[in-house]
Structure 1
Amino acid sequence: MIVTRHSKYCQCGRKKMKQTNFPSVFLGILACCALSVIAEDRYQFFTWEITQGTISPLGVPQPGILINGQFPGPTIEAITNDNILVNVINKLDEKFLLTWSGIKQRRTSWQDGVSGTNCAIPPNSNWTYKFQTKDQVGTYTYFPSTKIHKASGGFGGFNIAQRSVIDIPYPAPDAEFTLLIGDWYTTSHKVLRRILDAGRSLPNPNALLINGQKDAAVFTGEAGKTYKFRVSNVGVATSFNLRIQGHSLKLIEVEGAHTLQESYESFDVHVGQSATFLVTLSQPTSDYTIIASSRFTDSIVLTTTATLRYAGSNTITSLSLPSGPEANDVAWSIKQARTIRLNLTANAARPNPQGSFHYGTIPVVRTLQLANSKATINGKLRYAVNGISYLNPKTPLKIADWFNISGVFDLNTIKDVPPSPGTLAKQGTSVVGFTLHDFAEIIFQNNEKFIQSWHMDGSSFYIVGYGDGVWNSDSRKTYNLVDGITRHTIQVYPNSWSAIRVSLDNKGIWNLRSAIWERRYLGQELYLRVWNDVQSVYTESNIPPNALFCGKAKHLH
């Protein structure tokens, strides 16, 4: 259901102009105009029933998590500044939360939908998310944020189109397609969770899927027309490379940022990332193969396909299938990643050019060096960041912070730099404190042989560099401080580092986590507390009236 409210061009008060003193009328008109501006942002209402059902993405029945009976869940099609209300009815036999990946949730981490900000929705109850796609445009996703539910479904696309008054920096496509691509297990999330709880690593995924199907999805277009392909990695562990037989991929946007429009024969998308391409149907009428194959997987390469069908086609093209890079070719992927650059002259959700924020000239007030590591704690497998393996408290951090509930977290658990080599990891609730509007540098150091993927809620960041080995201060000489791309998820290659810079201008408590779910579930995450001592709805919304309470805050009902 969509409700759109339009202004009346500030007509209220005009008929009474001659009968009322000017100041009163003027103030009335101003008030009317203010209300009208607010009213122009439309509302979208959704009711989603979360159930467990039987699905067969690999031809064998297995349990899956459905939204309104769908797998994957419905795609939200929004416009910049839409107000989104989603009433989630939990019909599962366990608690459930959804998070909105990349949606910045301006001034309200209350709606973020992770354990640090929200109590989970109990079985046979409901909770309504309410947030605005404020000043955002691009390709995003949503997914369950707890208990590895994502491995069984519950995810979907979230696309935000620009308002009609804002130009797009490319020819308008004739139509668009949403491609949700990710790895898949035939094992249920409950079994996967028991494996991790027992202190063991997960097995390799069984397959890759495109929109919940293996080798079956079909996307139909007309010869000569150009289509927007919105592509997201909705998997739990695996990067993939995307390519289309006989067609190039013109990159136009990643996670809300318009890019320089480079064309690629194939493109890497890492766990949690999204990218948008223009594809022109310039070949003879036929069927062409869309291929996704796994990257950085040592033991086996997973591949899935879909069909790009020209309308009226009844043949399969004779063109050879395109090959992607070698599965473990890190250098190829780094080289490509460095070509993804910000289109400085393009508008985004606002009319001002994307390059008007000169991030390279802003002084850094704090640097975090975050090193991930594998650990054994109490005889079980865990993962740590700077020697701390995150432990979820029963009370959400945001609720504890708002109501000054002691004993939930402190700001001294985790340090800004990794511990000395050989230091044993321990469990703790890691929260790093920042002052609102701090400009920070964060270094992700990966000393392992596996690729990492990190996601930040609440803010987009500038990717300024990738490099081999161990980061040091001289590494800054290699930074891109002019047109680095902004996004909310960054890959960190094996035995390498990645660097970002970010303006922390969104007050709240925000999750910084591994997008690889085994690691996140076993402790590779932390939270950023962005705070100042001024309580104002202009910087942070009040706690919502429908907030759920749990843990030490349970009595606040």
Structure 2
Amino acid sequence: MAFRWFFGLLLIHIALLSGLCFADDPFVFYNFEISYITASPLGVPQQVIAINGKFPGPTINVTTNNNVVVNVRNKLDENVLLHWSGIQQRRSSWQDGLPGTNCPIPPKWNWTYQFQVKDQIGSFFYFPSLNLQRASGGFGSFIINNRPIIPIPFATPDGDIVILIGDWYTRNHTALRKALDAGKDLGMPDGVLINGKGPYRYNTTLVPDGIDHETIEVHPGKTYRLRVHNVGTSTSLNFRIQNHNLLLAESEGSYTVQQNYTSLDIHVGQSFSFLVTMDQNASSDYYIVASARFVNQSQWQRVTGVAILHYTNSKGKAAGPLPDPPNDEYDKTFSMNQARSIRWNVSASGARPNPQGSFRYGSINVTQVYVLRNKPPVTINGKKRTTLSGISFVNPATPIRLADQYKLKRVYKLDFPSKPLTGPPQMETSVINGTYRGFMEVILQNNDTKVQTYHMSGYAFFVVGMDYGEWTENSRGTYNKWDGIARSTVQVYPGAWTVILISLDNVGVWNLRTENLDSWYLGQETYVRIVNPEANNKTEFPMPDNALFCGALSKLQKPQDISSATSITGKSLKLIIIGVLVFLFL
């Protein structure tokens, strides 16, 4: 006992010397083992990417301002990076998990991500970001809850349900990659999955027997929060639940004006929260449907995801035809008008005590304007490529942020054009030079024939306008300057434009890309580099001790040391000390 007291006093002394503070934001820890497993989501055995043996991967569930530590063990036969889509890695693009910012985790290696979900709430997801790997799985939900002192703008739901939807191929990501490398299209997907499972057999002709489907059990009269994410490859999906209204409440970290929808188009990479009340009778189960949009419905009918909503007192199976999708064959404005109706709830509190609406984005002067135009794929140097403003992005062998840290030259060019090139398309590592604390207007012009969804890492931007045709200076007169939704992913319809405004207050190198995996893989992306001219640790965290090295800096990489695979920071050490102290004095 004397030893325990002596050891306890010693630890207290160490804790005091290290500035131990019990008011520090809590840490949460996850261990992820990324590996291949065999699964048959569409009835055909195939190789999928699992996390901890699960497909889809586990949900990360944290609270605003938590410090998140995810130790990743790569058991694939190729490099991997995990990207935290929509998580605003404040001051730390080192943790973003994209090839422009991080060296990949080699096979058989561990690497530990550590970041804080600072001043954020909402529904997001994570996924492997390299070489179409998301098309084989490796994705999962990421939930950030309000702190108890911050109210949510609706009654506390009776339950929280995650629904991951997405188009799916029975070919794995390496086969899809080879097809793109050979200049081919991916073609029609083989199906749509809901939570990693194939369709319920609602039609014996379209759906073969023996496919496992998702069943979501609910209690009659209860209201649930459904967090729905489109984690697919390239297909916009319409989400609906038979005979139930979807009350939209949140999207990618922003509470929305609450509106009822019978169905909602959810584009690749997007996330929404709905409040759904189980107010129907229990004569039977109900269909949950995710069906392809902007396609030939007769050809794509078999590419439909169907799950079952099962009341605990249900008296029978779901039967009959699926609920109809939007009937807008001759009205191309339906989906756009629906998107325009999604607005920010400026009276709700966000992750901080001050109201979201106190950020008056409409009165801020724009300091930079970029017009980013995409077109159908082109041929550059004999290869099929996609472009933004005439530039097809080439990922550097040495990540941009790492090159800056070591003052390497000729790794990238800080010359991305503010307007589309008029000459032939180019393959370049060309980056946007963002002005720290500037306010950037980005016009996304889609001159392709399919919907593209764009995402920016490290930020929530304001969606202020969208319309068909070519954007002009006069289009600014149509902008929503008050309650445009703040989010990280937005669709641009074919032959149309969307405008976003971005407050460049997060120092780092941040990816701006299409979420459509085929277009992304072929070069439709760039990065925005934002540097504080007064370098300090307050606006950007220093390079982490466990940073990986590659490219021109490969010689700096030391062999994997398993004993230090999980990095322990000063704060982590404090938590360990607290744990030991609790043990000693109980």
Which of 168, 178, 181 is the aligned partner of 1:197?
181
Q: Could you tell me whether the CA contact under 8 Å between 2:248 and 2:273 is conserved in 1? A: yes
Q: Which secondary structure does the structure 2 equivalent of 1:117 belong to? A: coil
Q: Could you tell me whether the CA contact under 8 Å between 1:294 and 1:327 is conserved in 2? A: no
> Aligned partner of 1:490: which letter?
V
Counterparts in 2 of 1:67-86, with a 5 A limit? 67-86=51-70
Counterparts in 2 of 1:447-458, with a 5 A limit? 447-458=447-458
Q: Which secondary structure does the structure 2 equivalent of 1:330 belong to? A: coil
Q: Could you tell me whether the CA contact under 8 Å between 1:199 and 1:379 is conserved in 2? A: no
Structure 2 residue aligned with 1:229: 226
Q: Decide which moves more: 198-207 or 57-66.
A: 198-207
Structure 2 residue aligned with 1:19: none
Residues 482, 497 of structure 1: CA spacing in aligned structure 2 closer, same or farther, 3 A cutoff?
same
Q: Which secondary structure does the structure 1 equivalent of 2:232 belong to? A: coil
Structure 2 residue aligned with 1:487: 487
Structure 2 residue aligned with 1:214: 198
Q: Which secondary structure does the structure 2 equivalent of 1:36 belong to? A: coil
Which of 262, 277, 281 is the aligned partner of 1:280?
277
TM-score normalised by L of structure 1: 0.92
Q: Deviations over 1:473-527 (max 9, x none)?
A: 0000110000000110010001000000010110000000110011111100000
Question: For 2:441 and 2:90, how far apart are their aligned partners in 1?
Answer: 21
Question: For 1:42 and 1:323, how far apart are their aligned partners in 2?
Answer: 46
Question: For 2:409 and 2:60, how far apart are their aligned partners in 1?
Answer: 39
Structure 2 residue aligned with 1:465: 465
Counterparts in 2 of 1:158-197, with a 5 A limit? 158-197=142-181
Which of 94, 101, 119 is the aligned partner of 1:110?
94
Question: For 1:326 and 1:280, how far apart are their aligned partners in 2?
Answer: 25
Q: Tell me the matched-pair count.
A: 524
Structure 2 residue aligned with 1:324: 325
Question: For 1:528 and 1:444, how far apart are their aligned partners in 2?
Answer: 15
Counterparts in 2 of 1:85-484, with a 5 A limit? 85-215=69-199, 216-285=213-282, 286-298=284-296, 300-301=300-301, 302-316=303-317, 321-326=322-327, 330-373=332-375, 374-412=377-415, 414-420=416-422, 423-484=423-484
* Structure 2 unaligned spans of 5+: 1-11, 200-212, 558-586
TM-score normalised by L of structure 2: 0.87
Structure 1 position 431, deviation (Å) = 0.5
Question: For 1:304 and 1:202, how far apart are their aligned partners in 2?
Answer: 19
Question: For 2:321 and 2:188, how far apart are their aligned partners in 1?
Answer: 29
Question: For 2:40 and 2:355, how far apart are their aligned partners in 1?
Answer: 46
Residues 129, 327 of structure 1: CA spacing in aligned structure 2 closer, same or farther, 3 A cutoff?
farther
Q: Deviations over 1:260-284 (max 9, x none)?
A: 0000000010000000000001111
Q: Which secondary structure does the structure 2 equivalent of 1:544 belong to? A: coil
Q: Deviations over 1:442-464 (max 9, x none)?
A: 00001122111101000000000
Question: For 1:496 and 1:326, how far apart are their aligned partners in 2?
Answer: 20
Q: Decide which moves more: 264-273 or 285-294.
A: 285-294
Question: For 2:505 and 2:22, how far apart are their aligned partners in 1?
Answer: 27
> Aligned partner of 1:82: which letter?
N
> Aligned partner of 2:461: which letter?
F
Q: Which secondary structure does the structure 1 equivalent of 2:21 belong to? A: helix
Question: For 1:312 and 1:450, how far apart are their aligned partners in 2?
Answer: 43
Q: Could you tell me whether the CA contact under 8 Å between 1:296 and 1:327 is conserved in 2? A: no
> Aligned partner of 2:405: which letter?
W
Residues 337, 551 of structure 1: CA spacing in aligned structure 2 closer, same or farther, 3 A cutoff?
same
Question: For 2:306 and 2:333, how far apart are their aligned partners in 1?
Answer: 25
Structure 2 residue aligned with 1:22: none
Q: Could you tell me whether the CA contact under 8 Å between 2:328 and 2:334 is conserved in 1? A: no
Q: Could you tell me whether the CA contact under 8 Å between 1:52 and 1:66 is conserved in 2? A: yes
Question: For 1:351 and 1:322, how far apart are their aligned partners in 2?
Answer: 41
Q: Deviations over 1:232-260 (max 9, x none)?
A: 00001001001111110000000000000
Question: For 2:23 and 2:434, how far apart are their aligned partners in 1?
Answer: 33
Q: Which secondary structure does the structure 1 equivalent of 2:78 belong to? A: coil
Q: Deviations over 1:176-209 (max 9, x none)?
A: 1000000000001111111111222212211000
Structure 1 position 330, deviation (Å) = 3.1
- What fraction of aligned residue pairs are identical, expressed as a percent? 49
Q: Deviations over 1:388-407 (max 9, x none)?
A: 10011100011001211111
Question: For 2:370 and 2:487, how far apart are their aligned partners in 1?
Answer: 18
Question: For 1:542 and 1:242, how far apart are their aligned partners in 2?
Answer: 42
Residues 321, 61 of structure 1: CA spacing in aligned structure 2 closer, same or farther, 3 A cutoff?
closer
Q: Decide which moves more: 103-112 or 320-329.
A: 320-329
Q: Which secondary structure does the structure 2 equivalent of 1:167 belong to? A: coil
Residues 330, 553 of structure 1: CA spacing in aligned structure 2 closer, same or farther, 3 A cutoff?
farther
> Aligned partner of 1:138: which letter?
G
> Aligned partner of 1:382: which letter?
R
Question: For 1:291 and 1:327, how far apart are their aligned partners in 2?
Answer: 18
> Aligned partner of 1:332: which letter?
F
Structure 2 residue aligned with 1:548: 548
Structure 2 residue aligned with 1:515: 515
> Aligned partner of 2:22: which letter?
S
* Structure 1 unaligned spans of 5+: 1-11, 13-27
Question: For 1:73 and 1:445, how far apart are their aligned partners in 2?
Answer: 34
Q: Which secondary structure does the structure 2 equivalent of 1:364 belong to? A: coil
Structure 1 position 337, deviation (Å) = 0.4
Q: Which secondary structure does the structure 2 equivalent of 1:73 belong to? A: coil
Residues 327, 525 of structure 1: CA spacing in aligned structure 2 closer, same or farther, 3 A cutoff?
farther
Which of 43, 48, 51 is the aligned partner of 1:64?
48
Which of 11, 19, 23 is the aligned partner of 1:37?
23
Say what the alpha-carbon RMSD is for the aligned residues: 1.7
Structure 1 position 319, deviation (Å) = 8.1
Question: For 1:527 and 1:68, how far apart are their aligned partners in 2?
Answer: 31
Structure 1 position 51, deviation (Å) = 0.9
